[in-house]
Amino acid sequence: MKILILEDEDDKYGEIQSETLQIIPEAEIQREKNWYDYARAIANTRFDLILLDLLVPRSRMDHTVEDHHAQLVETTRDYQSKSFFTPAIVLTRYTEKSEDFVYDLNKVDINVISFNEHGEWKEALKLKLLATQPKQKYEFVIVCALDKEINAFDGLTDTWGPVKTISGLVCREVQIDMYKGVIVRAHRMGLVAAAVTATMALERFEPRLICMSGICGGVAGESEIYDLLVTQICHQHDAGKWSNEGFKSEHYDVQIDVDVHNKLRELCSDVGLKDYLLENINAGKSELSGEMERLTCNIKSDVPTSSGSAVMAEDGKTSSLTYGQRKLNGFDMEIYSVYEAARLAANKPAFFAAKTVVDDGGNNKGDKFHRIGCLLSAKFIVKAIRAGIADVGIPPTQ
């Protein structure tokens, strides 16, 4: 948030600066001490909020302190100014009693607050700062349903921010190559939580890319433990109607964009990708399934998967998911919602999901494959972002 403060008194400026940074710690504050420099600053720079006094010197060369209320509207709301639309607050000890003066300023989004020792101005300033705080925008959003899925990214990104709440979402800010993004945790597993989280992230962060990372179940005969499934089309398997004849499913699905699909296929065709995914992952004996002698994985970029709010934990149940679906490879509890939220978003971002199979629908269940599964999917997501998938579909001029 970029804030301009016009104030010539050091003590008063210190109070305003301290109060501002307590509310918005990351605020970028520019100070001017005279009317001439103030006018030049708002003409050439777009600020998010302006805080100013009316009794300040004319210029650096002329230290005559004047009342500038007569020039306030003309200067601050000049059509040529880059801060023409910026809200402004007059924090002054100025004692102008004219109600018309204050009314005229309010009409052009300039509020007058009396600066005094009682501190009432602090609450008014806080409300204005919070109201004018601009949207925090990111180039990509990664949605995860579990902490272990998020923690798998630690050490893979160029920067790793602390857990904090941003615009109502629990996030970690990260940097991957030139792209600034955020990893967002859904408040719980399931379609509803994923839909709410993805929709909020899309509206508040306006990313060019939203994707999902983590672990999933596999369909027996189609997927094995540690298969990396890059979902090309996702169905919802628990939508439908129960009747005396049983459950009749309703067919809903969402497919990723063709350009995104082509970029993912290009990435998955890289002969060195599997070595990259397996690099520096030391698997314990208990983390190897069945007859597996060493860690390996298969990368599948064109697979259909299915999402539902119920966990599949009974042998044989996954076979029911494939009814009406050809070669369904995996199932989870969130991907469909993330895809649907992205499909309906106003800013039309690129979207995809990559999850690793840690339950093959047979005897291989439990948490022992989760660590490696989370790492494999996280490494693929990072690789895709470094490869520029957030730029897919963006016109060259942007």
Q: For the chain, which residues make up each domain, given as ranges?
A: 2-132, 140-391
Q: How far apart are CA 120 and CA 356, in angstroms?
A: 55
Per-residue burial over 167-179, b if 16 or more Cβ lie within 10 Å, else e, is eebbbbbbebeeb
* DSSP helix/strand/coil, 395: coil
DSSP 213-265: EEEEEE-TTT--TT-EEEEEEEEETT-EEEETTEEEE---EEE--HHHHHHHH
Asked if 26 contacts 1 with a C-beta cutoff of 8 angstroms, the reply is yes
Per-residue burial over 266-283, b if 16 or more Cβ lie within 10 Å, else e, is ebbeeeebbeebbeeeeb
Q: How far apart are CA 321 and CA 349, in angstroms?
A: 29
Tell me if the pTM is above 0.85.
no
For domain 2-132, the CATH class is alpha beta
Q: Does 3.30.479.10 match the CATH number of domain 140-391?
A: no
Instruction: Note whether 2-132 and 140-391 share their fold.
Output: yes
Per-residue pLDDT of the chain (398 residues; tens, 9 = 90+): 899 999 999 999 999 999 999 888 888 999 999 999 999 999 999 999 999 888 889 899 988 888 887 788 888 888 888 888 888 888 877 555 555 566 667 777 788 887 877 777 888 888 888 888 777 889 999 999 999 999 999 999 999 999 998 888 999 999 999 999 999 999 989 999 999 999 999 999 999 999 999 999 998 888 899 999 999 999 987 776 766 776 666 778 999 999 999 999 999 999 999 999 999 999 888 888 877 889 999 999 889 999 987 655 555 454 455 444 557 899 999 999 999 999 999 989 999 999 999 987 666 667 899 999 999 999 999 999 999 999 986 654 44
Q: How far apart are CA 144 and CA 198, in angstroms?
A: 10
Separation of CA 109 from chain center: 30
